[in-house]
Structures are given as structure tokens and as C-alpha cells.
Amino acid sequence: MGIIIGATVLMPIRKAAKEVNYLRDGRAPIPLSDATSRVMSANRGKDTGPEIALRKALWAAGLRGFRVNLKDLPGRPDIVFTKRRLAIFVHGCFWHRCPICQTCTPKSHERFWAEKFERNVSRDARNLDELKTQGWRTIVVWECELKDDIDGIVRRIGRDIRRDPNEWEVGEDVR
Ligand SMILES: [Zn+2]
């Protein structure tokens, strides 16, 4: 059955059995696999699950006084300790091409994805360089590291924060 408009018959769009609607930004090709769709829809820019988890863990560990998504800084770091000039990015493994875990690459539209990933990776590198030039130290935390050992990440950040600022090298990458 469908709705007849003039000579056009609009058939209802077939939905997946589970009636799952993924958030999509309209730019990427429709993923063929459900797993890819899930990964893609998990990226909603800022305030994703891993970022919130890290903020909560930092807060619980007494590492407060950070700001979030500072618009004026290159790449809008997710967590910024302004007084310590420490900028932290929480990167999703899929979009930012995690070097630690085996991130999946969609099998279809290969060229589209290759170009998109290349742009993302070079943009990330540019942002880190720019921050370092401006005298910021940076930490990149990968989503998978956070899943594996959030306590370890919090300890590492805590160590970096407590270090005497006089010992910092300008532009130092604290990883
Ligand atoms: Zn990863």
C-alpha cells in the first residue's frame, strides 16, 4: 500500500526489524552494515559518552577546575585546564583513526572514507601543532584507552597537572 500523489506512488520506507533510527548528518554515504552505522551515529561531535566519562572520573579524582569545549582554542579541546595550559582531546577511534586499536573501515565507498579520514587526521595534527605553538601542552586520549583503563588515564593526567609548571617545556606533548 502507498500514498498516491498525482502519478507518483510513495511507498513507506522499510524500517529495520528493530526500528532503530540512527542519527545521521546527511553527508556520509548510507552505511551498509549495521555495525558501521552504529559507530558512525555514535559520533555527535562534542559531549560524547567517552568525554563525559572522563570528565566525571577527573572530577571524582579531585581534578576539577577544567573547562570544556573552549571555542577559541584550535580544535576545541574537550577538556582544558587553563591555568596549567593543558589541553586534552578525547578522540573517537573510528573518526580520528586510532593508532592503538584496529578501527574498522567501511567496506563500501572506500575512496570517500579514505579522503575523509585523511582530512580528519591532518586536521587533528594541525590543531595539535597550533596549540603547541601557542604554548599549550596537549594530551590525546583515545576512546579505547579510556574503555580499557580510565583510572590509569586519570592518574596520568593527575601527574601531568601536578608537575611544576616551571619544568614544562613550551609546546610539550605530555604523552
Ligand atoms: Zn582505539
How close is the Cα of 84 to the center of ligand 1, in Å?
A: 27
Ordered by where they begin, the domains of the chain are: 46-164 (3.40.960.10)
92 CA from centroid of ligand 1 (Å): 7
- Grid coordinates representing 42 are 555514535
Query: Which has the closest alpha carbon to 45: 96, 117, 109, 119?
Result: 96
At 88-146, the pLDDT tens digits run 999 999 999 999 997 778 889 989 999 999 999 999 999 999 999 999 999 999 999 99
- Ligand 1 mean position, distance from CA 43 (Å): 14
Q: Phi and psi of 53, rounded to 5°?
A: -60, -45
Q: How far is the CA of 146 from the centre of ligand 1 (A)?
A: 9
What the block records as the C-alpha cell of 39 is 559507530
pLDDT band at 71 (very low <50, low <70, confident <90, very high): confident
Task: Specify the DSSP class assigned to residue 74.
Answer: T
Distance (Å) from CA 69 to ligand 1 centroid: 22
Claim: this prediction has a pTM higher than 0.85: no
Residues β-bridged to residue 89: 140
7-44 tens-digit pLDDT:
444 444 444 344 344 444 545 666 556 555 555 555 54
CA–centroid distance, 91 to ligand 1, in Å, is 8
Helix%, strand%, coil% for the chain, nearest 5: 40, 15, 45
